[in-house]
Structure 1
Amino acid sequence: MDARAIREQFPILDQEVNGHPLVYLDSSASSQKPLQVIEAVDHYYRTTNSNVHRGVHTLGSRATDLYEGAREKVRRFINAKSTAEIIFNRGATTAINIVAQSYGLANVTKEDEIVITPMEHHSNIIPWQQVAKITGATLKYIPLQEDGTISLDDVRKTVTSNTKIVAIAHISNVLGTINPIKEITKIAHENGAVIVVDGAQSAPHLQVDVQDLDCDFYTFSGHKMCAPTGIGVLYGKQALLEKMEPVEFGGEMIDIVDMYESTWKELPWKFEGGTPIIASAVGLGAAIDFLTDLGMDNIVQHEEKLAAYALERLSEIEGLTIYGPKKRAALVTFNLDDVHPHDVSTVLDTEGIAIRAGHHCAQLLMKWLNTSATARASMYLYNTEDDIDRLVAGLLKTKEYFGNVAY
């Protein structure tokens, strides 16, 4: 895969920031968008903009075809059985909240357990805290190994016959840990629990097959996988979704409304109240086309090489602490001795290098790492080894700058 040629398809990357060519290393927060996606959204607004499903005029029919066509592209992308299992929403956060509020509150009691991990994004912690508070259920955590991975033995010890829900990230947005979802799913099912997978960091980077994983729910966001912001996906097994009640009412999810009772549309629309996020769904469909044309296997191979190169180069910097396992996704989270991550990020920005600094919506994990914040460089299909070299040079300059500052 020629990352330099791919980079040319991303207009935003062809610019200077603070007098330097832009190096974008913040794709775990939000990826950049290829021209193919930008043009698809632009074309929709220029030629097709209309509401979907109810209209019988030409523009309405075109918009519906594009919107539902995007749903079919998502189904193929993650290998779901049916488009009835693909729910569009605002993003992974919304998707997890739908499962928590609809499935969780209806199926969890005070005798039950919800199991998560300390590496979760806040979006996969707080909804389950709320379910536990409302129902009286026990919230349990699978402990982490020293390198930030999970032991299947610990999963077996934590998940019991009282566990109703296991909620876990496929990939940690801080450590880059790739969790063994298929094996964890098997353990959850053996104990009668359902599993909710936060795929925000995995869907853009891995070949995801929800049938092979056998997960019950899988969530991800479009903006991390070359699509526009504001669009996300909840996959759920149809048998589970059929039994769940919607959490948002009105508009598109209605079937029949009477004076005192109403009925809902069938799946997937019963979970899509209000006017859908049509243009962003069109953009998501175009992004999936883009990723599929490149080949997810090629993206995986490219990112494995980048991650290995980044670990090797960053390990050469004296006083730099790297967090997480050796085998990881294409991100590196680190701290530079005696320099706050925000200061690191600020100096790198003066060199045209964009990274993320802070707690990364993972405060529990920061406590486990015994730090309040970290710096994170996250890579994607448009990054090259030259970008890593620029990062290393920028970090050395940061060290030199703060080494010369009188405290």
Structure 2
Amino acid sequence: MFNVQDIRKDFPILSRKVNGKPLVYFDNAATSQTPKQVIDAIADYYSNYNANIHRGVHTLSQEATDLYEQSRETIRAHFNAKFTHEIIFTSGTTHGINLVANGFSSLLKQGDEIIVSALEHHSNIVPWQMLCERTGPVLKVIPMNEEGELLMDEFDNLLSKNTKLVFVNHISNALGTINPIEHIIEKAHAVGAAVLIDGAQSCPHIKPDVQKLDVDFYVASAHKMCGPTGVGILYGKEEWLKKLPPYQGGGEMIAEVTFEKTTYADLPHKFEAGTPNICGGIVFGTAIDYMNQIGFDAIANYENELLHYATEKLLEIEGLKIYGTSPQKTSVISFNLEGIHPYDVGTILDKMGIAVRTGHHCAQPIMDFYKIPGTVRASFAFYNTKEEIDALVEGVKKAKMMLS
């Protein structure tokens, strides 16, 4: 049974006060909060297992290595990758995207085309622009409509025999739109293009099956999924990971080093140079186990209930406009009050203990499309409540009264 009050007891930070008010945390799209099960796992690692991995014959090193590789297997099973070595530990989604972009530098040439969407986070735009500057491909953009949806007919028209790469987010961080990635992957593969999906915003809400999706690359971050910052994963099909050159050189990613020549380690170590965030990698598995114990269907159903409740209540406020109104969306609401800057609204809400995000959310092209400086973004997680949404609504009403 899904019991939000019992779940909230797992999150120590939810009991604290901010500016003398009970914390209402609605910035989950940026970073989710961490349950005590994960916090305890972090303390357990540093108390009992802290040692470097893969390199030591001593007991601590071997125990830490076992825990790290067990977590990799937990993550493989969660995403349903075919092989454990298709899971590459990274510092987060941005690192994973840059790893792939760097690898394709040696595979692309002048005249090739790559496609991105208008709904992307900057981390899924800038690395590809840098790639185009280095190697000469043309960057094309799938346009969006007023509802915050991608125009699939336009995407179909952009595809050609020159298309080598397509990359879109699974869910928009700024608007909450769930993109039709199954269609995108199928159409891209039909012209021989590879596909990278940015799953940073989807993985807290959806359990992706990378084999069913037939996606070539999928990236995610632990800190969106009740885990720590500074760790994430890149899933890549084995055949693609073997084609890409290493992203960084150093310890761990080598098979043999001489001054004449270096040979590289097998997957996944080929892409894991240096000492990793060992604790982060281990407890990423703990966080995934925690969320699976609650159940992703239960999480999705409850968050959808919160989304509809918040949408209905906020739209009762005169002069409030929501951006991103696709029926296919997750628990993110981006909005503005007519004539009031979003930063000012966010400042008033903070005084009331309500944490929201304001600005362009690292998705400036979306804001340019709507011709606005940014939005107030309230993003909900499975540990939030309707009572907290009521507090948000009252806070927005107060901000409107004070700032109008």
Letter in 2 for 1:21: P
- State the secondary structure of the residue aligned to 1:215: coil
Aligned equivalents of 1:248, 1:260: Cα separation in 2: 19
What corresponds to 2:240 in structure 1? 240
- State the secondary structure of the residue aligned to 2:281: helix
Aligned equivalents of 2:316, 2:72: Cα separation in 1: 45
Aligned equivalents of 1:305, 1:132: Cα separation in 2: 42
Q: TM-score, normalised on structure 2?
A: 0.98
How many pairs align?
402
What corresponds to 1:344 in structure 2? 345
What corresponds to 1:264 in structure 2? 264
- State the secondary structure of the residue aligned to 2:85: helix
1:282-309 C-alpha deviation (Å, 9 max, x unpaired): 1201101101101111111111111111
> Is this contact kept in 1: 2:231–2:277, CA < 8 A?
yes
What corresponds to 1:394 in structure 2? 395
What corresponds to 1:73 in structure 2? 74
Letter in 2 for 1:358: G
Aligned equivalents of 1:398, 1:110: Cα separation in 2: 52
Aligned equivalents of 2:139, 2:339: Cα separation in 1: 36
> Is this contact kept in 2: 1:122–1:362, CA < 8 A?
yes
1:100-139 to 2 correspondences below 5 Å: 100-102=101-103, 104-139=104-139
- State the secondary structure of the residue aligned to 2:358: strand
What corresponds to 2:330 in structure 1? 329
Q: CA deviation at 1:326?
A: 3.8
Aligned equivalents of 1:151, 1:72: Cα separation in 2: 37
1:341-392 C-alpha deviation (Å, 9 max, x unpaired): 1111110011110000011011111101111111100011111111111100
What corresponds to 2:307 in structure 1? 307
Please tell me whether residue 91 in structure 1 is matched to residue 92 in structure 2: yes
1:93-139 C-alpha deviation (Å, 9 max, x unpaired): 0000000001x212211111110011100000001101111111111
Letter in 2 for 1:302: Y
Aligned equivalents of 1:363, 1:400: Cα separation in 2: 28
> Is this contact kept in 1: 2:255–2:264, CA < 8 A?
yes
Q: CA deviation at 1:145?
A: 2.1
Please tell me whether residue 378 in structure 1 is matched to residue 379 in structure 2: yes
Aligned equivalents of 1:396, 1:133: Cα separation in 2: 47
Q: CA deviation at 1:173?
A: 0.4
Letter in 1 for 2:311: L
Q: TM-score, normalised on structure 1?
A: 0.97
Aligned equivalents of 1:400, 1:325: Cα separation in 2: 26
- State the secondary structure of the residue aligned to 1:252: coil
Q: CA deviation at 1:310?
A: 1.2
- State the secondary structure of the residue aligned to 1:107: coil
- State the secondary structure of the residue aligned to 1:260: coil
> Is this contact kept in 1: 2:228–2:284, CA < 8 A?
yes
> Is this contact kept in 2: 1:155–1:187, CA < 8 A?
no
Please tell me whether residue 181 in structure 1 is matched to residue 181 in structure 2: yes
- State the secondary structure of the residue aligned to 1:345: helix
> Is this contact kept in 2: 1:74–1:86, CA < 8 A?
yes
1:51-62 to 2 correspondences below 5 Å: 51-62=52-63
Aligned equivalents of 1:128, 1:388: Cα separation in 2: 38
> Is this contact kept in 1: 2:148–2:326, CA < 8 A?
no
1:133-158 C-alpha deviation (Å, 9 max, x unpaired): 11111110011122111232222111
1:245-290 C-alpha deviation (Å, 9 max, x unpaired): 1011111111100122111110001100000110111120110110
Please tell me whether residue 82 in structure 1 is matched to residue 83 in structure 2: yes
> Is this contact kept in 2: 1:182–1:212, CA < 8 A?
no
- State the secondary structure of the residue aligned to 1:227: coil
What are structure 2's unaligned runs of at least 5 residues? none
Letter in 1 for 2:170: H
> 3-12 or 165-174, which moves further after superposition?
3-12
Work out the percentage of aligned pairs sharing the same amino acid: 50
What corresponds to 1:216 in structure 2? 216
What corresponds to 2:369 in structure 1? 368
> Is this contact kept in 2: 1:26–1:378, CA < 8 A?
yes
Q: CA deviation at 1:325?
A: 2.1
Aligned equivalents of 1:7, 1:339: Cα separation in 2: 33
What corresponds to 2:158 in structure 1? 158
Aligned equivalents of 1:12, 1:283: Cα separation in 2: 18
> Is this contact kept in 2: 1:253–1:271, CA < 8 A?
yes
Letter in 2 for 1:113: E
Aligned equivalents of 2:3, 2:385: Cα separation in 1: 9
Aligned equivalents of 2:34, 2:361: Cα separation in 1: 22
What corresponds to 1:200 in structure 2? 200
Aligned equivalents of 2:117, 2:339: Cα separation in 1: 29
Aligned equivalents of 2:214, 2:385: Cα separation in 1: 34
What are structure 1's unaligned runs of at least 5 residues? none
Letter in 1 for 2:274: G
Aligned equivalents of 1:182, 1:107: Cα separation in 2: 25
> Is this contact kept in 1: 2:309–2:386, CA < 8 A?
yes
Aligned equivalents of 1:373, 1:243: Cα separation in 2: 40
Q: CA deviation at 1:164?
A: 0.5
Aligned equivalents of 1:295, 1:154: Cα separation in 2: 36
- State the secondary structure of the residue aligned to 2:106: helix
Letter in 2 for 1:160: S
1:146-200 C-alpha deviation (Å, 9 max, x unpaired): 2111232222111221110001000000111100111110000001100010000
Aligned equivalents of 1:341, 1:150: Cα separation in 2: 25
